[in-house]
Amino acid sequence: MPERISPTLRHLLDPGHCLAFGFGAGLAPKATGTVGTLLAIPLYLLMVTAFSSPLVYGLLVAVIIIVAIPLSARAATALGVDDHPAIVLDEIAGFLVTMFALVPSWQAVAAGFVLFRLFDIIKPGPIGLADRRIHGGIGIVLDDLLAGAAACSLLHLAEYMSLI
């Protein structure tokens, strides 16, 4: 990896970096993962409104994940860090996984945001293992996908129990 550098507005001129940095959300001075996840909320609402089918939603999320892996790897190489905090496309993909096949409501979005951020920050069990052991684009994205899957499971349980 090259020497670690900080991303700048100039990086946003590159379309791949712009996507990896969440259209600039990753340039926030603090809490870039949280800012990236906040950016995912309107994207989720747009997707679930435009495509009510879980199959179509899932296919779109799969495309985002497939795109996120090489773009995250490329941005990490350019910044000289395996998983630079400015790369937030993985948080966007993780939140979209969190919200898969749920009945859209503000309660589900709020609970999904909190649970996803909690799993992404604490990284319990396999999430932390993947974060520590798997590198490159797949490693950057995988821990967020696992955090999203864990949050999604709890949300479906809460929905089943009529808690959200």
pLDDT tens-digit profile of 95-126? 999 999 999 999 999 999 999 999 999 999 99
Q: Residue 1 pLDDT more than 70? A: no
Q: Nearest Cα to 98, choosing from 154, 32, 143, 56? A: 154
pLDDT tens-digit profile of 38-47? 999 999 999 9
In 10 A of CB 2, how many CB atoms?
Answer: 9
pLDDT tens-digit profile of 45-91? 999 999 889 999 999 999 999 999 999 999 999 999 889 999 999 99
Domain ranges of the chain: 30-100+108-160
pTM of the model: 0.94
Residue spans of alpha helices (H) in 3-53: 15-20, 32-50
